[in-house]
Chain A
Amino acid sequence: GENVEQHPSTLSVQEGDSAVIKCTYSDSASNYFPWYKQELGKRPQLIIDIRSNVGEKKDQRIAVTLNKTAKHFSLHITETQPEDSAVYFCAARRSNYQLIWGAGTKLIIKP
């Protein structure tokens, strides 16, 4: 069935450095790719998303890139700060509108 693979499962970076999380999807009909940030004990929060007709989208320190041919998309966080520490989930939306989620990446920002 359709799945989304997410790597790495844990990412530790020095404060101020960049972080990159990668996802690969299998359903070529997927056309929408959101990224959620979930802090411990909190709700998943939509931080950025991209549609299949766009290759890149940026919002301040966060950017997402999409390669439809290779069926992968990535989250880029620049100038990381302690408040960026959280679990990040990628997802791909199927043609029936259901989100298929990646397994999550725990991002640790070291001071």
Chain B
Amino acid sequence: DTEVTQTPKHLVMGMTNKKSLKCEQHMGHRAMYWYKQKAKKPPELMFVYSYEKLSINESVPSRFSPECPNSSLLNLHLHALQPEDSALYLCASSQRRDYEQYFGPGTRLTVT
């Protein structure tokens, strides 16, 4: 398996909802990333996990909560989001942090 997978593909949630985004890879990669991408902009780094430990948290609001249950899985828990959080959320992985990053297809999130 040479892909990063993400679920769901699309998500619509209200500002009071709690939801989770999931990311999975079976390439044996030990670094995993969450990015946020707005239309016509480059991806913005949110979190980096290296060997299942959070190593970078780019001053992301606490309504976004990452979790790395094991080396293959990465979750992003969402709570009390704002409409401006609507975006494409991309997961990526790399063999280690100094290796190339491969992206999943993303979750298109709409906050109403």
Contact = CB atoms under 8 A, between A and B. Distances in A.
A45 to B, nearest CB: 7
A50 to B, nearest CB: 11
B101 A43 contact: no
B106 A104 contact: no
User: From DSSP, what is the main secondary structure of chain A's interface residues?
Assistant: strand
Contacts, number: 39
B100 A102 contact: no
Given A42-B105, A43-B106, A44-B90, A103 B100 contact: no
Contact of B43 (A32, A44, A45, A46): A44
Contacts of A45: 103
Interface string A36-78: 1000001111100100000000000000000000000000000
A89 B44 CA distance: 12
15 contacts: A32-B98, A34-B100, A36-B103, A42-B105, A43-B90, A43-B105, A44-B103, A45-B103, A46-B100, A46-B101, A97-B48, A98-B56, A99-B45, A103-B41, A104-B40
